[in-house]
């Protein structure tokens, strides 16, 4: 079967190369049949890649250890679900997933747009196919998942921290996000190559971008929850380079989703939007490079490998090509309209863009700093949490405030009188909440207090926008159905508020405690008292599980029991921390108990953390998804208008 996988990948590479070269030639010489043939080659590349993926999946499920990849990432003791997730648990498999998703997106984009915008798609196909060719080449020549060996009796198993249900969804969602950003990039480059400066490429990719952005956002939150429940250190985001690698393109895509509205409404920011699309895609490639090259130390990254230089070269080539293209088309991208006022909705979008890009670039600097310091000074220096926290506060808090200001300001211009009228309620609510929180003792953390006050302002502003909008539109459903993107966006803003509340609460107002306990001893953390009772062990399906029995008291009242411990995996010969979490749903607060060290005599070094409001972060994920679906939902009226606007005669009609 490995031969079939290898052959399918070679066919996929051949098809992608054909699509890139023939597609380029067809677009340049305006050959219709050749352009269609190149588009079809991209569809066929999806088929060939799907066959390769099916071969690998089948080998993983059958535990066919004659495949080196299967032997390296599974064992016979591994449950079926995790055998499937081993597909993306290793380098070669995850590269195959990249190619599968990329050709899938490419094929769908070609099928949906080739009749509506044939000239644009003709230039987009070679860009998509060029990127697919690179990944297919890596899989064929550098990191094949179909390398074979004499089958050992047992496989090495999957990294224990990856043996978690979240790993079934988190990586594929991230891939849908990373790879999805290829579509707006390819269409943007296609528009530049075709010399089209109209909004066709934006209309064609709007939903793709939103979908990719949603997948990346949900994927990151799932990853944060996985880190929280599985990695066993009591946190959900550590500013790890690989975590940042997913955050950066998401921030760039967020900026793009906002600024693209200015181009649609006012015909402005054409160059800026192209640069954001390049930045978002470039960062998604950079993230993939970070995860796979081994240039940075991360708990998430794969081991040192030979594909790093290939990736770096590809990123440089892509960014240089894209920037050269923008520079070449600059005369066509000049905007005819200007910003009418610095106090307008457009202006708030612009400020939001500057802050998002600034935050994105400071994170990029933090990620790249160890690599650059290694290159320049010969020693790798990392920037720590204080660096990131400082910039998150510096750019994140004004961003939060802008989310509340934006909906209150009119498009084009806003007078002082109108601003006074629209601001009075949200500002009043924010001040009242701030004073109340101050009285309740939230002043112990200034950034926390500011975050809560701004959050109250945003929620009041969004609520007011819905109330006033409903009054003006006549009904709530009419209001939302007429502008799903806007009102879905407001729901997403509410999700970001929940996220901010959760982050501020759990980081600024949390407490922690560490102690070595023998059975019968107690320790205090926040309002809780923990009493260590006993320790026991049992055999799991593929591991030995040691668990401590701990009683949890609030005051003198017993409120529950937790069982933190460690798992020792047989095949992988690795130990994982199994943190115990007790959730107080009323306060949205978690008590996390970790067994840092378990001695053979039963003495355990416990670490306990209280994380107020941390569950708002996970609730934010649900609200975020709901808002995104509202924004993504197709609008029949808009579709009809766009179809009539862009209806080009087909050759037959001509």
Residues that bind another protein (CB under 8 A): 1, 3-4, 7-8, 11, 15, 18, 26-27, 30-37, 40-41, 43-45, 47-48, 51, 118-119, 122, 194, 196, 198-200, 264-267, 408-415, 417-418, 421-422, 465, 468-469, 471-473, 641, 645-646, 648-651, 654
Name the CA radius of gyration of the chain, rounded.
Answer: 27
Residue number, 339 or 473, with CB nearest to another protein: 473
Closest CA to 155 of 229, 235, 61: 61
* Secondary element (H or E) of residue 478: helix 476-482
Nearer of residues 319 and 473 to another protein, judged by Cβ: 473
The two tokens of residue 42 are 């991209």
- Closest CB 196 distance from another protein, rounded Å: 8
SS3 608: strand
**Cβ closer to another protein: 409 or 491?**
409
Sheet holding 580-584, edge to edge: 511-517, 604-611, 589-598, 580-584
Cβ proximity to another protein: between 180 and 190 the closer is 190
Exposed/middle/buried for residue 546 (C-beta within 10 Å: 0-12, 13-18, 19+): buried
Structure tokens at 230: 């599985």
The number of angstroms, rounded, from the C-alpha of 237 to the middle of its chain's C-alpha atoms is 13
Nearer to another protein, 470 or 511 (CB): 470
Q: Do residues 217 and 624 touch, judged by C-beta distance below 8 A?
A: yes
Residue 121 C-beta: closest distance to another protein, Å: 10
Residue 264 or 635 with smaller CB distance to another protein: 264
Write out the two tokens for 652.
């037959």
Report the C-alpha gap between 21 and 25 in whole angstroms. Answer: 6
Residue 69 C-beta: closest distance to another protein, Å: 17
Nearest to 174 by CA among 243, 108, 90, 254: 243
Minimum gap (Å) between residue 376 Cβ and another protein:
48
Looking at beta carbons only, is 468 or 515 nearer to another protein?
A: 468
The least distance separating another protein from the CB of residue 611, rounded to whole angstroms, comes to: 39
Instruction: Say if residues 577 and 231 touch (Cβ distance below 8 Å).
Output: yes
In whole angstroms, how close is the CB of 45 to another protein at the nearest point?
8
Closest CA to 229 of 301, 165, 174: 165
Choice between 116 and 554, CB closer to another protein: 116
Cα distance between residue 120 and residue 195, in whole Å: 9
Shortest approach of another protein to residue 207 CB, angstroms?
18
- Alpha carbon distance, N-terminus to C-terminus of the chain: 50
The string over 147-170, giving b where at least 16 C-beta atoms fall within 10 Å of a residue's C-beta and e elsewhere, is ebeeeeeebbbbbbbbbbebbeeb
CB-wise, 92 or 119, nearer to another protein? 119
Give the helix ranges, DSSP H, for 153-304: 166-180, 182-194, 200-226, 241-266, 270-293
Query: How far apart are CB 126 and another protein at their closest, in Å?
Result: 13
Q: CB 472 → another protein: shortest distance, Å? A: 4
Helix axes 118-137, 91-113, angle to 10 degrees: 170
Determine contact, residues 431/457, Cβ cutoff 8 Å.
no
What token pair was written down for 523?
């320790």
Closest approach of Cβ 422 to another protein, in Å?
A: 5
Nearer to another protein, 41 or 598 (CB): 41
Identify the CA nearest to 296 among candidates 385, 388, 380, 384: 380
Q: In whole angstroms, how close is the CB of 54 to another protein at the nearest point?
A: 9
Q: CB of 320: closest distance to another protein in angstroms?
A: 27
Tell me the C-alpha distance between 326 and 167, whole Å. Answer: 39
Q: How far is the CB of 78 from another protein (least distance, A)?
A: 25
315: helix, strand or coil: helix
User: Whose Cβ is closer to another protein: residue 26's or residue 550's?
Assistant: 26
Q: How far is the CB of 497 from another protein (least distance, A)?
A: 21
Nearer to another protein, 121 or 588 (CB): 121
DSSP 412: S
Of the two residues 146 and 310, which places its CB atom closer to another protein in the complex? 146
Tell me the closest approach of the beta carbon of residue 255 to another protein, in angstroms. Answer: 22
Q: Which is nearer to another protein, 47 or 560 (CB)?
A: 47
Nearer to another protein, 267 or 308 (CB): 267
Query: Residue 312, Cβ neighbours under 10 Å: how many?
Result: 16
Nearest to 256 by CA among 187, 336, 318, 325: 187
Residue 390: partners with Cβ closer than 8 Å, 6 or more residues away: none
Tell me the CB-side half-sphere exposure of residue 226, using CA atoms within 13 A.
21
Question: SS in 3 state form for 516-554?
Answer: EECCCCEEEECCEEEEEEEEEEEECCCEEEEEEEEEEEE
């Amino acid at each position: 079967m490995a031969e079939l996988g290898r052959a399918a990948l070679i066919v996929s590479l051949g098809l992608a190369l054909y699509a890139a070269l023939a597609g380029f030639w067809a677009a340049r010489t305006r050959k219709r049949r050749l352009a269609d043939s190149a588009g079809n080659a991209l569809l066929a590349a999806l088929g060939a890649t799907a066959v390769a993926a099916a071969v690998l999946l089948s080998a993983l499920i059958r535990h066919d250890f004659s495949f080196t990849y299967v032997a390296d990432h599974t064992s016979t003791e591994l449950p079926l679900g995790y055998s499937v997730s081993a597909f993306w648990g290793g380098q070669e498999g995850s590269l195959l997933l990249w190619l599968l998703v990329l050709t899938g997106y490419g094929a769908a984009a070609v099928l949906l747009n080739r009749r509506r915008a044939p000239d644009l798609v003709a230039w987009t196909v070679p860009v998509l196919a060029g990127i697919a060719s690179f990944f297919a080449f890596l899989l064929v020549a550098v990191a094949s998942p179909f390398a074979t060996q004499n089958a050992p009796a047992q496989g090495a198993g999957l990294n224990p921290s990856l043996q978690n249900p979240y790993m079934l969804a988190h990586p594929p969602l991230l891939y849908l996000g990373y790879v999805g950003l290829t579509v707006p990039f390819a269409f943007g480059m296609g528009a530049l190559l075709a010399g089209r400066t109209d909004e066709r490429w934006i209309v064609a990719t709007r939903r793709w971008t939103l979908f990719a952005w949603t997948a990346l956002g949900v994927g990151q939150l799932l990853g944060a929850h996985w880190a929280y429940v599985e990695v066993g250190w009591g946190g959900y985001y550590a500013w790890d380079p690989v975590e940042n690698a997913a955050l950066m393109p998401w921030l760039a895509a967020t900026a793009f989703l906002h600024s693209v509205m200015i181009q649609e409404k006012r015909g402005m920011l054409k160059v800026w939007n192209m640069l954001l699309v390049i930045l978002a895609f470039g960062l998604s490639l950079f993230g993939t490079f970070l995860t796979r090259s081994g240039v940075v130390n991360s708990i998430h990254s794969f081991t040192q490998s030979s594909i790093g230089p290939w990736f770096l070269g590809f990123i440089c080539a892509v960014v240089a090509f894209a920037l050269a293209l923008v520079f070449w088309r600059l005369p066509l991208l000049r905007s005819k309209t200007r910003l009418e006022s610095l106090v307008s909705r457009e202006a708030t979008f612009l400020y939001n863009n500057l802050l998002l890009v600034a935050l994105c670039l400071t994170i990029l600097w933090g990620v790249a700093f160890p690599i650059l310091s290694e290159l320049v000074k010969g020693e790798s220096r990392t920037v720590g949490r204080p660096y990131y926290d400082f910039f998150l506060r510096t750019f994140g808090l004004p961003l939060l405030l802008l989310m509340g200001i934006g909906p209150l300001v009119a498009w084009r211009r806003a007078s002082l009188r109108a601003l006074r009228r629209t601001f009075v309620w949200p500002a009043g609510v924010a001040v009242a909440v701030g004073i109340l929180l101050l009285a309740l003792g939230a002043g112990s953390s200034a950034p926390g207090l500011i975050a809560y006050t701004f959050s109250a302002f945003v929620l009041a502003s969004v609520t007011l926008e819905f109330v006033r909008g409903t009054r003006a539109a006549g009904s709530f459903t009419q209001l939302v159905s007429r502008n799903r993107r806007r009102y879905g966006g407001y729901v997403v803003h509410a999700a970001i508020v929940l996220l901010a509340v959760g982050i501020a609460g759990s980081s600024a107002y949390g407490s922690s405690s560490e102690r070595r306990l023998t059975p019968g001893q107690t320790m205090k953390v926040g309002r809780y008292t923990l009493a260590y009772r006993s320790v026991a062990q049992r055999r799991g399906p593929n591991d030995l599980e040691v668990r401590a029995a701990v009683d949890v008291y609030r005051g003198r009242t017993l409120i529950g029991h937790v069982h933190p411990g460690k798992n020792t995996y047989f095949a992988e010969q690795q130990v994982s921390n199994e943190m115990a979490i007790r959730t107080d749903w009323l306060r949205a607060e978690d008590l996390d108990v970790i067994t840092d060290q378990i001695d053979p005599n039963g003495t355990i070094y416990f670490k306990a953390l209280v994380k107020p409001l941390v569950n708002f972060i996970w609730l934010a994920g649900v609200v975020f998804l709901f808002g995104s679906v509202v924004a993504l939902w197709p609008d029949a009226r808009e579709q009809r208008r766009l179809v009539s606007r862009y209806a080009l005669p087909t050759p037959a009609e001509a």
